[in-house]
């Protein structure tokens, strides 16, 4: 009886093992199957570049998301702070690794006054901008940031 292995783990282990074995030259063998730098660190994972006949390097398939809790706080002219609901726009603005991980798309999200967990792509600096209920924005690095509070200001009243 064998133990159950997750299919993704099995594929990842197989790719790494093939890469390592490909770097080891058998006696009398002149060429390598894989070359150094074929495997690249992208965020917190390794991606193996395979150079297939005429196809070039394999593209990275998708970004890996990380949950981030976002809260919006309304700051009134008198300086008091109150949790509020708002709509925010989330956009990746700078890659944190070289080479960069796949670029995730920008998106908008409605945030209730108690806050909301949203998924942001790893390996990127994100700008989260309040698009309703005043003005304010914050930049976060994913990872390590997993909890964000954005202060939004209004010019008068609680608009």
CATH of the domain at 104: 2.60.40.1120
Structure tokens belonging to residue 74: 């309304």
- What are the angstrom distances between the C-alpha of 2 and each of 5, 135, 143? 9, 58, 36
For the chain, give the mean pLDDT: 76
Structure tokens belonging to residue 151: 């202060």
Helix (H) / strand (E) element for 142: namely strand 137-142
Helix (H) / strand (E) element for 33: namely none
Checking phi first, is residue 144 left (phi over 0); if not, alpha (psi -120 to 50) or beta?
Answer: alpha
Predicted pLDDT at 2: 45
In the predicted structure, residue 11 carries a pLDDT above the cut 70: no
In the predicted structure, residue 157 carries a pLDDT above the cut 50: no
Q: Does any domain span residue 90?
A: yes
Give the structural domain span for 116.
65-153
Tens digits of residue pLDDT in 127-148 = 999 988 778 899 999 988 889 9
How many structural domains does the chain have?
1
Predicted pLDDT at 77: 85
Q: Does any domain span residue 69?
A: yes
Tens digits of residue pLDDT in 32-77 = 555 555 566 555 555 655 554 445 444 556 778 899 999 999 998 8
Helix, strand or coil, per DSSP, at residue 65: strand
In the predicted structure, residue 14 carries a pLDDT above the cut 50: yes
Angle at 4 between CA 1 and CA 33, to 5 degrees: 105
Q: For tokens 């570049």, name the residue.
A: 49
In the predicted structure, residue 86 carries a pLDDT above the cut 90: yes
Predicted model pTM = 0.59
Q: Does any domain span residue 144?
A: yes
Q: Does any domain span residue 37?
A: no
Q: Does any domain span residue 27?
A: no
């Amino acid at each position: 009886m064998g133990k159950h292995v997750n299919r993704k783990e099995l594929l990842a282990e197989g790719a790494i093992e093939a890469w390592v074995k490909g770097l080891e030259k058998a006696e009398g063998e002149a060429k390598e199957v894989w070359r150094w730098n074929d495997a690249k660190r992208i965020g917190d994972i390794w991606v193996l570049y395979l150079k297939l006949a005429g196809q070039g390097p394999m593209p990275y398939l998708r970004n890996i998301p990380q949950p981030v809790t976002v809260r919006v706080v309304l700051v009134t002219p008198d300086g008091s702070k109150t949790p509020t609901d708002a709509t925010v726009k989330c956009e990746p603005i700078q890659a944190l690794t070289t080479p960069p991980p796949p670029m995730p798309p920008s998106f908008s999200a409605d945030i209730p006054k108690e806050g909301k967990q949203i998924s942001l792509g790893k390996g990127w600096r994100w700008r989260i901008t309040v698009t309703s209920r005043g003005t304010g924005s914050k930049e976060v690095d994913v990872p390590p940031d997993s909890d964000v509070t954005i202060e939004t200001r209004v010019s008068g009243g609680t608009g």
